Structure 1
């Protein structure tokens, strides 16, 4: 009897296994894709990364770099260099989480059935872009062992030296340049930046290459290589390293308002969006130079005030950044219009260009500084004018003037007789405007160069010293204690004034 029951049980198991096999086979839809393809990761990876950068740009970079002032006398005001350690979590958590999507583009594009060198190259460019933001924000970070928790169960990655990270980022960009030469086909609908054009991704990658080279070229450990590479990209081997050469080639995720492409600024309550005042430094320079981006009445209402800044009694008036708490009520100064105000007036809440990653103007200002410093030959004022003109035309295509006339009329034209530092200030004040909305690049550039010179308000905390980094998220101390301790022993105290590698002499 027992033997009979065992035989029946074995037959039953065999039958169930066979039925399950047939069921699975019958329920496979031959018209659908059951494996991930490279392009499937791109939209989400790009939307997420740009969203995180835009939010940090608005509430952190803009406050530090005197674009806006979050009016109030309470603690934790970034514009007074006073912010809580919890501010560190957002960029760290979100970019590391999203990095898995970015790396999955490369992983799937490297598989035999999906092999595609364009997607491999794009993934390497995006990795270099996001990792550079992370390391420039915190210094030494998990890099070679990061994002391995899912597949390798490595939950306590080591922190790599920023120097080593930069060297590898540059290698990634060099590899991407080679991969994208192959011009393998990409899906147009999955690429919200360049609509599947490998040649444009290649130009962005090489332009990003220049941004990172300029950031570290002064460091003795890498100076010889960085100088040679800048010269190679811009002069001796330029045909092999095409770069962004027009506004149309700028890397911008344009928010169409359709489906997933709704600006993250739309998630901000309208009253909160217009709560921050415009800084006096930012506002005065635009107003006093009659900058077209805030005032071009000759083009009609569609062109007026492209940056959506509200005047006060007909004038543009800003708030002095770093003002002392309890000294004055600045609540009725210029601010950025919200989307529900004054129909027909522009608002950054719905502006397609706010998804800015890297624009042509930045590339021109990189060239200008490289010429000024003698890294390459040429007259620095030529790309200086081009940088100004291209950024104004990016925002106002119908602009009928030119940079030279605009600067002369505003009494801020280039002067060959200026000192080196005066020329650096001219370049970087205009670059500061061109980097408006570009993640934390204004902050990074200020830390690198000290330009533009920012006024110091009496209410500044931190002894009036611009923060050099964000501290690591607090939870890292307990979740990854060994690597954390090694990092701070090597880099310095986990405080906002500890300079990262490229800031140190």
Structure 2
């Protein structure tokens, strides 16, 4: 992949050399007296952010949602993701495209760190963005190139070594520590339009970086070999050094790339044909809970133009789903589905579709940290209630605390301190499941880490009925980086979807 990634820059250099030899004053004549021949951070950042969110959203729709019983791409053929059965060709898309975006974010860093153009806000944003991408890559594949990744152009490393997932995580922690330091009191970006997430607000980027830090720490907190160190850092961020590590604390601070509908910020689901977008059925697990709770996110009266906020079409029987993992030949009929953009409200045009990390997730992380004994400030119920409330207010900003209290009183989801640890985790992660709706593959990652929420298992599941633990490496890696590929699978385990990544292994 790295070889492919740098073919074009290499060809450009060769062309420039040939042209210069033909006419030695070409560069002087054709250099604009004001503009720079090097892409500036404000030119690179918005494209890199939009592209990264685009790739995450497309994999959220057709991979995460199928595994995590949000949708079912109903078909009795082989290779159906909702049956834990998918081919190796699924792997290339995310791996290749996210590593390409890492090059863009690293270029932002190089331009911003240059003494002549130094801008610590861009440096901090770049470090956070890199850690964000590396975290998704390693949680998807396991061991990945990290220290030597994206160095083909500058250092000639076209066959990078794979780092262990542990080293990737702690390398990301170093990035996030540095970003937190740099963004402490940093100025906002001079070009707000360069930042489609926070409009250049440095303080909000700092909160996002520390919230990402907290997410990643929680993911590895139960690994015995690192637990003491990790739990100590969780307590610093969440309890003892909160002023040093500010985190997302309000819905308005959520990290979301908003698809305004103005080019280039057009929802990438618009690239999906309308008939294909509404083709998958809604899964029973996803919709049945919302129906049981009379959830406002599917309340038609609260949506725009008479369509519920999440753009889900009711059937003639109301909101009905299809059981996930069913055996081929059972003859289920699709009922509810996601509207296409020909309707008045659709996820194809949804502004909030670019979900990266939201306030509800942060509160629910804190709830889990409390019940596991990592922190002792406040209480689990306060964090849990705030998480559940923020998850709804993210989509319905006018929904009040009074609305939430009435909602919780009418459903069987109020906090219960008498539950054991697993019972409490089930409550937290059922709410987190809905809070992570549209958020890349975080539902899948969290389920693999905790086993919550408990998902029903149909008789048609493959892979021994066990949730896939990873994507396999792209097939091209075996030919473009064979030596390091072999070392990686020797260290991690067979290149199969059943091989657990480091933080899953007991």
TM-score (norm 1): 0.93
Matched, 1:235 2:234: no
Q: Contact 1:389/1:402 (CA < 8 Å) preserved in 2?
A: no
Distance 1:18 1:136, change over 3 A: closer
Residue 20 of structure 1 and its aligned partner are, at CA, apart by: 5.4
Distance 1:162 1:23, change over 3 A: closer
Q: In the alignment, what sits opposite 1:258?
A: 262
Q: Contact 1:137/1:469 (CA < 8 Å) preserved in 2?
A: yes
Matched, 1:367 2:371: no
Distance 1:461 1:23, change over 3 A: closer
Q: In the alignment, what sits opposite 2:68?
A: 65
Residue 446 of structure 1 and its aligned partner are, at CA, apart by: 0.2
Residue 375 of structure 1 and its aligned partner are, at CA, apart by: 0.6
Q: Contact 1:310/1:316 (CA < 8 Å) preserved in 2?
A: yes
Q: Contact 1:365/1:431 (CA < 8 Å) preserved in 2?
A: yes
User: Aligned partners of 2:24 and 2:462: how far apart in 1?
Assistant: 68
Q: In the alignment, what sits opposite 2:442?
A: 441
User: Aligned partners of 1:23 and 1:325: how far apart in 2?
Assistant: 66
Distance 1:399 1:107, change over 3 A: same
Over residues 115-168 of structure 1, what are the superposed CA-to-partner deviations in whole Å (9 max), with x where a residue is unaligned?
011111111100100000000001111111111112222111111011111111
Number of positions where the alignment pairs a residue of Structure 1 with one of Structure 2: 485
Matched, 1:418 2:419: yes
Q: In the alignment, what sits opposite 1:218?
A: 222
Q: Contact 1:309/1:335 (CA < 8 Å) preserved in 2?
A: yes
Q: In the alignment, what sits opposite 2:384?
A: 384
Counterparts of 1:30-179 in structure 2 under 5 Å? 30-179=33-182
Distance 1:111 1:300, change over 3 A: closer
> What RMSD over aligned residues (CA atoms) do the two structures have, in Å?
1.8
Over residues 443-472 of structure 1, what are the superposed CA-to-partner deviations in whole Å (9 max), with x where a residue is unaligned?
000000000000000111111010001111
Q: Contact 1:254/1:353 (CA < 8 Å) preserved in 2?
A: yes
Distance 1:303 1:122, change over 3 A: farther
User: Aligned partners of 2:432 and 2:231: how far apart in 1?
Assistant: 21
User: Aligned partners of 2:61 and 2:283: how far apart in 1?
Assistant: 13
Q: In the alignment, what sits opposite 2:16?
A: none
Distance 1:62 1:19, change over 3 A: closer
Between structure 1 and structure 2, the one with the greater Rg is: 1
Report the 3-state secondary structure (helix = DSSP H, G, I; strand = E; otherwise coil) of the residue aligned with 2:356. Answer: strand
Q: In the alignment, what sits opposite 2:194?
A: 190
Residue 198 of structure 1 and its aligned partner are, at CA, apart by: 0.7
Over residues 91-130 of structure 1, what are the superposed CA-to-partner deviations in whole Å (9 max), with x where a residue is unaligned?
1111111110011110110111110111111111001000
Q: Contact 1:118/1:182 (CA < 8 Å) preserved in 2?
A: no
Counterparts of 1:293-332 in structure 2 under 5 Å? 293-295=297-299, 297=301, 299=302, 301-302=304-305, 304-313=307-316, 315-331=318-334
Q: Contact 2:303/2:309 (CA < 8 Å) preserved in 1?
A: no
User: Aligned partners of 1:22 and 1:108: how far apart in 2?
Assistant: 26
TM-score (norm 2): 0.93
User: Aligned partners of 1:412 and 1:296: how far apart in 2?
Assistant: 22
Q: In the alignment, what sits opposite 1:399?
A: 399
| Structure 2 gap ranges (5+) | 1-19
Bigger CA drift: 411-420 or 366-375? 411-420
Q: In the alignment, what sits opposite 2:9?
A: none
Q: Contact 1:252/1:357 (CA < 8 Å) preserved in 2?
A: yes
Q: In the alignment, what sits opposite 1:457?
A: 458
Residue 418 of structure 1 and its aligned partner are, at CA, apart by: 1.6
